[in-house]
Amino acid sequence: MGDLIAWLLSFFILIAVLALVLYQLMCFLDLETDYINPYELATKINSITLPEFITQGVLCFLHLVTRHWFMFLLCLPYLCYNVNLYIHKRHLVYATEVFGELSREKKQRIFKLDDLEYRGYGLRRRRSSLSNTTEQSPLMKAF
């Protein structure tokens, strides 16, 4: 039962990180099509960047505490990348420089989405192995 709760918690945290990254990508696409101005974009992106980093860190820590080493190792490079961005103050988007770095910022978010997709696949594989090793409880049959 503990593995099921850990899996559900991991799933919902992963969905939250995915939603935050998708929102950032949509903001950059809105800027590209001229729906929002650079100041609005910088305000929106900078306000959710730190919650994304914290949520990702919580997910990585959850895998570490629950001793799911493979998922922890999948999360670790993404976490190290976020820590590196934060330490070097490259996690902020500046309104005056946003058009010059639009392509790089979009590619960065797309790369993050790809990484989250791989982790979602790993999480799905973990769930299928979980359902094979335990007896089928009514809660497991729902998923």
DSSP string, 7-44: HHHHHHHHHHHHHHHHHHHHHHHHHHTTSS-HHHHHHH
% of the chain at pLDDT higher than 70: 85
Mean pLDDT throughout 130-140?
A: 52
Given a contact cutoff of 8 angstroms between Cβ atoms, the answer to whether 117 and 15 are in contact is no
pLDDT of residue 18: 92
pTM: 0.79
In angstroms, rounded to a whole number, what is the distance separating the alpha carbons of residues 80 and 86?
A: 10
pLDDT attached to residue 129: 60
Band of residue 115 on the pLDDT scale cut at 50, 70, 90: confident
Q: CB–CB of 10/123 below 8 Å?
A: yes
